[in-house]
Structure 1
Amino acid sequence: MPVNLVATPAADLYPVPGVRWGITEAGIRKANRKDLAVLLLDEGASVGAVFTQNRFCAAPVQICREHLAKNAGQSLGIRAMLINTGNANAGTGEDGLSRAKSSCIALARELNLSPEQILPFSTGVIMEPLPHDRIAAGLPAALADAKENNWANAAEAIMTTDTVAKAFSSRITLGGVPVTITGISKGAGMIRPNMATMLGFMATDACVAPALMSQLARELAEGSFNRVTVDGDTSTNDSFVVVASNQAKHAPVTSLDSADGKALRAAMLEIARKLAQAIVRDGEGATKFITIQVEGGKTGVECRKVAYAIAHSPLVKTAFFASDPNLGRILAAVGYAGIDDLDQTKIDLYLDDVLVAKNGGRHVDYVEADGQRVMKQSEITVRVVLGRGEASDTVWTCDLSYDYVKINADYRS
């Protein structure tokens, strides 16, 4: 069961003018499930994206990078995206590239576009041939379904081992004009993004200068999806895409440091963080949602090193699952995080409001019953104070349960 997470009702997901989703069942891996989605963009939309840092990246990631580069500065631009679940088209070599390109060609023909105006995305099982014939056969039905208020179905159509569809919306005002932001994501396992999440799509009707879109995507990912981990594995298919349809009638945002730029970025970051945290809350087998806050570092980089060392430790994660305050495991993770000149006598450790360790040793007033009280909660904050400087950073993770092993042992069944 996900940790304090329910799907957002479809009525609470705002349509974004100039952006339409079409969904169908193409039988890509299993019958009778939504597994193919098309995202259609009106002319004039701008796109920015970030992708996995995994060097063994999937065929669709390679093609997306190629198509975005070809469209940089061009008047035609990206006009559609094609997303399938059930098959990652990763580890498939030249044949995988050919099948992904074939899918782009099929959609381009349906829309009278150039294949380079299509971005393909895949998620699912690795090292299996992409059934591009089923994708092509499913396109007419997906296109016939295309509409602006289809975000909830789209969130469901991109799921793999997720148990809850992940989607959020908000509205703000820029220059006196209402602006909509809506986003979806998927992911539950193989989650330690080095850019984004396994798949994420966010759109706004705000007017944003095309030159800003890549920067906006990077900054949103860095503040959200790059701060979550379920199991420490970086996917071959991680992709996060940001779309501005440019249909709101306000003065264009030409700098993210302007008043409107800051307001838009803050509102979009709030949605991105909700999407990223939803992935952790729905982590495979998760029973606890854990915030790891590291303070007092010399740099943000070393704070993240410590936070991820804690978040990735199987011993720490299993202790949280068992509600066992075996908190020396956290201190051990801090110690091996890779800070060579770390002074353990300056480190404080908190579990929520409970001071566990002071100056590197067990606090005189700490009793295990207090630690166990916190460990039994479904949401827990671990706070580490390094005593080295003013920097801080935060990572979100979950526990590691029996069900995580079961889910991944049976993944291809």
Structure 2
Amino acid sequence: MDNCNKTLLIILTLLITFQRATCTQETCREGRRNDERYLLYDVNPGEGFNLRRDVYIRVANLIRKLNDVDNWVLVLPPWGNLYHWQNVRPGLYVPWKNFFDVESLNKWIPVTEFNDYLKTEGATVGSTYVLQNYAEGWGGKWEEKYDKRPCIERHNFEQRDDGSWSGQMWATKVKTDNFTCLSIQGQAATLLPLIQRDLTSRSVFIGRAETILHDEYGGKWYWAARRSMRFARHLREEATRFRRDYLGSDDKQDKTEVKDDWRDTKPKRGAAVGGPYIAVHLRRKDFVRARGDEVPSLKKAAQQIKKLLQNENLTSVFIATDAPVMELQELESLLPGYKVVHYKPSTDFLHKWGDGGVAIVDQIICTHARLFTGSYESTFSFRIQEEREILGFEERRTFNRLCGKKSNCDQPAKWRIIY
């Protein structure tokens, strides 16, 4: 090899090395590297879909901080049979790609599906930490801390004869070398020292991750992670079809068009107009029992909906609700002269995407309405408000809720988007 070729080879090697060294979570995600480490997490089985989405943001920004030093990949926990999902077989778990655009998530932090992790690493995890609160409580003093403590609640891990542990993770029996119950009070970043000191484990599992708090709820890092959580294309297309066919709504006339890359979408406040309908999330079932004073009767809900339609000079309302069919029919009878629309999936759609897919289509349709009003302390409503912030709706058309027994009730806090 002559000197010229040697020089070119050296330059090429340096360029490749520099590219790898400067590759960040926002600029590249091509292929796997040998030094990758994996963070797995799970949430209390009783938590619903929309709370789990919030926990994802907490853990995603923990990965962001870990990647300031190392090369971590977040393993996405499969979706099982959640409380409101009646059409998922027990023991069946579905991947995130069924509901979310995983490529979009990867533009914020490196992520992978659990099934892909099993193919790469096998059914093993280096260290397992199950989070819990302190048995004695906070003691009236707030401080970020964690301690290894005896387990307070039941867990599904057991120690083997060789000293290792095994347990069920999403219908898969997994071996873990180290198992610890960890009492903690603090934010996601409180776990940084624990994970960074665990130098021997290629993978770490965090159980009951809802125990940790956001590092900065509503800050720019929160919103970056939230904006990356775009829904899967097949669900967006289904919602687009429904809006066009039943509500006379499309992105161009509604001024809700977005760029292909979420990082390029930063609309000004008030840019979005929305379709010619209002959307209402009417929470029923257990909310009627648990929050009776804050949940309106069907008659009172109809009165409020009618007033909103008159104020907006509209005649169509889309209802997203967990109410039984009879209640939905009663509500419609209380709104004579108005078009009451409710999404009912086809058998094929329900078979493919389940109740989770149906809920997301409901949320997308609500997101694109001229005005939205939700239910008291509902995470379903919160997520819609966030989606409308991302699209650039006016605050007065987003942060609303139905009142219960009181004629005038406190409206939701305005968590405004930050770039």
Identify the structure with the greater strand proportion: 1
Scaled by the length of structure 1, what TM-score is found?
0.26
